[in-house]
Amino acid sequence: MRKKILIIDDDEELNELVSAFLSKNDFDVITAIHPTLGLKLLKQHVPHLIVLDITLPDKSGFEVCKEIRQFAQTPIIILSARGELNDKVDGLELGADDYIPKPFEPRELVARIQAVLRRSEVHTITTIQAKTLKSQDLLIDVRKATVYTDEIQLDLTTMEFEILHLFMKNPGVTLSREQVVDKIRGIEWDSIDRTIDVLISRLRHKLKDDAKNPKYLKTIWGSGYRFVGEVITS
């Protein structure tokens, strides 16, 4: 079955070029040059994946991404002409699944789309089969994608949840930044070290985990990070 892709980008010429290339690669493509229309088409057509530009009229792609995540978990690939690290981290924390800086090769976009769609299908399967993980006062309910400390639910982004889940599934194992990216997204990003470091820092803050005396995530200098708490599966 041909997968349906929604592109929300105010560059009409780019939309036409990308649409033509994606169509040749067995995708059905819907485009919108305005975020309001894009959100309307999302609800009408229920695409398999969204390609979302950051710079849009009236509201930013970040705002659109946040709005989408309030009612849908459709995979999102963010595009940005700036290619800045903060754009990448902000997009991922709002629930985007990947990030591509402009300009890009259409073949790269196709490869990213295919990779995200594969991960999305696998994630759906593992979510159904997943169990509850507990370490001290920290609890993950993977089926509901929720995290609690002292029975208080934390407000984690999709990326933060996936990183914490990955480490709790591998307690005592040192994972490099590259391994974290590969396990969660399955592809390489630019500025991997800094991106993962920023996300780990924000996750620690929400967990109230002291980096100098960690209960959960310990920095292994020169290697990566390790979950140091004992994990109980139930």
pLDDT at 131: 79
Task: Assign 121 a pLDDT band (cuts: 50, 70, 90).
Answer: low
Nearest Cα to Cα of residue 186 among 117, 126, 125: 117
* Burial class, 214, CB count within 10 angstroms (exposed 0-12 / middle 13-18 / buried 19+): middle
- Are residues 112 and 184 part of one domain? no
Handedness of CA 168, 169, 175, 177 (dihedral sign): negative
Question: pLDDT above 90 covers what percent of the chain?
Answer: 55
Q: Which three-class secondary structure string do you get for the chain?
A: CCEEEEEECCCHHHHHHHHHHHHHCCEEEEEECCHHHHHHHHHHHCCCEEEEECCCCCCCHHHHHHHHCCCCCCCEEEEECCCCHHHHHHHHHCCCCEEEECCCCHHHHHHHHHHHHHHHHHHHHHHHHCCEEEECCEEEECCCCEEEECCEECCCCHHHHHHHHHHHHCCCCEECHHHHHHHHCCCCCCCHHHHHHHHHHHHHHHHCCCCCCCCCEEEECCCEEEECCCCEEC
Residue 15 has pLDDT above 50, yes or no: yes
Task: Indicate if 68 and 23 belong to the same structural domain.
Answer: yes
Q: Are 41 and 72 part of one and the same domain?
A: yes
Task: Tally the domains of the chain.
Answer: 2
Are residues 142 and 84 part of one domain? no
Of 110, 126, 142, the one marking the end of a domain is: 126
Final residue of a structural domain among 126, 155, 182:
126
107 shares its domain with 178: no
Are residues 120 and 11 both part of a single domain?
Answer: yes
- pLDDT band, residue 125 (cuts 50/70/90): very low
Q: Which of 139-153, 160-174, 175-189 has the lowest mean pLDDT?
A: 175-189
- Per the DSSP assignment, residues forming a β-bridge with 18 are none
- Please check whether residues 102 and 210 belong to one and the same domain: no
Which of 75-84, 110-119, 175-184 has the highest mean predicted lDDT (pLDDT)? 110-119
pLDDT at 126: 43
Range of 65's domain? 3-126
148 in the same domain as 99: no
Same domain, 116 and 95: yes
Residues 108 and 161 in one domain: no
pLDDT digits (tens, 9 = 90+) for 157-177: 777 888 999 999 899 999 988
CATH number of the domain residue 117 falls in: 3.40.50.2300
Identify whether residues 188 and 220 lie together within a single domain.
yes
CATH classification at residue 204: 1.10.10.10
Q: Domain boundary residue among 76, 105, 126?
A: 126
What pLDDT, on the 0 to 100 scale, is given for residue 167?
A: 93
Considering 84-98, 192-206, 220-234, the range whose residues carry the highest mean pLDDT is: 220-234
- What confidence score (pLDDT) does residue 159 get? 78
- In this structure, the answer to whether residues 27 and 101 fall within a common structural domain is yes
